[in-house]
Copies of this chain bind each other. A is one copy, B any other.
Amino acid sequence: MARGAATEEPVRQRLLTEATRLFAERGFESTSVQEIVAAAGVTKGAMYHYFASKDDLLHEIYGRVLRMQMERLTTFADASGPIAERLHAAARDVVMTTVDNLDDSKVFFRSMHQLSPEVYKIVRADRRRYHERFRDLVIEGQRGGVFRGDVPAEMVVDFFFGAVHHLGTWYHPGGPLTGPEIGRHFADLLLRSLAPVG
């Protein structure tokens, strides 16, 4: 007997997708387990079969996002070519990826402090490694004299990612700018602000 395609999609995946959407829409605390399972078309029992708790669901979402972002950054950072080009490409990519997965991004920055202390620590550590890899690109450029050296690299990264994280607040598909456009602009702004003094 052939089953419907919708039902075919693994339950676990459906739960993650719907949870992400709902957490992005109304926040972790304001989303009930009941709403999640209803949206995924299963019962609570099913959810607790795949996930240890509501917290665990959030943890899994974080894991997925972190793995993907780190992978992409590594690809761009480890490529060949001038440092300015590599940083530009990496910056542009993280913006486009964020725009393409806006729900993930919203959940990430709105609900991070709802994680349990232990999980929170793990996520922070993963996130720090990501930031450090990005910062190293800035430092590389500063050492090579391609970027100005009178600004703390760490702070520049926080500055830039603040702008990236905030995309979820104002970007809407169908707005005046597309993801790639914003990506190019953001990368331009970053690179220009790092340009050495004339």
A159 to B182, CA, bound (A): 10
Nearest 5 interchain pairs by C-beta: A162-B166, A29-B29, A162-B163, A193-B193, A189-B193
Copies of the protein in its oligomer: 4
CB distance from A61 to the nearest CB of B (A): 17
Measured CA separation A169–B155 after assembly (Å): 12
Where chain A touches its partner, the secondary structure class is helix
Residues of chain A touching chain B, judged by Cβ–Cβ distance below 8 Å, are 26-27, 29-30, 109-110, 113-114, 151-152, 154-156, 158-167, 169-170, 176-177, 182, 185-186, 188-190, 192-193, 195
Complex-state Cα separation, A26 to B164, whole angstroms: 23
Q: Given A29-B29, A177-B152, does the pair A159, B110 have CB atoms closer than 8 Å?
A: no
